[in-house]
Amino acid sequence: MLLNRPIVMGILNVTPDSFYDGGRHQLSDQILSKVSRFLDEGADIIDIGGYSSRPNADDIGTQEEIDRVLPAIELILKNYPHAYLSIDTFRASVASEAVNAGACIINDISGGNLDHQMFDTVARLQVPYILMHMRGTPQTMTTLNEYEHLVSEVLLDLQQKVAKLKQLGVHDVIIDPGFGFAKNIPQNFHLLQHLRMFQTLGLPVLAGISRKSMIYKTLQNSADEALYGTIALHTVALQNGANILRVHDVKAAKDAIAMVEALNRFCLTENE
């Protein structure tokens, strides 16, 4: 996926227990209202998730996840047939069902670790794949954040998986370093500071930091109060090379992109 400017992925969780908006988008009118607002505000992709990946979230079965996401995908595409949807899942069978229903991207938080059929499934489906770094599961990842050289280890893991995907014929890959997944708060900030290193893979980079604990714990508030901190870190991410922002607040992210682009244009003009 070649991106000539940063784009925004709006988060639509059809779960009862996601860390910020769990339970808010389970009814049809709630889903359509959120999607309508996202599209009006300029969302390029809508990311649909039916499995909460917050730390210590409940583990649900495959069929329950399918039963959550498929009706949402079908509902959205019936009302907004040109919407570009991604499916946020680590399960190959859920990914396959979602793509067959009309999703265009697979967003896998586990980077293939939790379902060894995922890479083959992506190769068969030939859709863009978001490859994220994580250790363990959402239930265990907070205990698995020991690194000697954080950026190098995350980068190597992603590099090795990109090579496997290419061998299978998958070339449309997006990189996500996995903020908050088996990383503590200082590690998250270290990753953000060195985000440009991930451009060495020659692939688009996604930053998923919206309203996360690295923000609200630093500010000593809550996810509900973390919008301003999110905007600040989105700006940093863009300046450090992020191509995609995965967000809860589309308009704020679009404004951050516009401001960074204006800054870059001004600097180019000044240096000519």
Look at residues 51, 67, 45, 216 and name the one whose alpha carbon lies nearest to residue 139: 51
Give the span between the Cα atoms of 135 and 53, in whole angstroms.
Answer: 12
Supply the DSSP string of the chain, one letter for each residue: ---SS-EEEEEEE--S--TTTTTSS-SHHHHHHHHHHHHHTT-SEEEEE-S--STTPPP--HHHHHHHHHHHHHHHHHH-TT--EEEE-S-HHHHHHHHHHT--EEEETTTTSS-TTHHHHHHHHT--EEEE---S-TTTGGG----SSHHHHHHHHHHHHHHHHHHTT---EEEE--TTSS--HHHHHHHHHTGGGGGGGSS-BEE--TT-HHHHHHHTS-GGG-HHHHHHHHHHHHHTT-SEEEES-HHHHHHHHHHHHHHHHHHHHHH-
**CB atoms near residue 77 (< 10 Å):** 15
Collect all residues with Cβ–Cβ distance below 8 Å to 37 and sequence separation of at least 6. 250
Residues recognised as catalytic: 212, 246
Give the span between the Cα atoms of 270 and 272, in whole angstroms.
Answer: 6
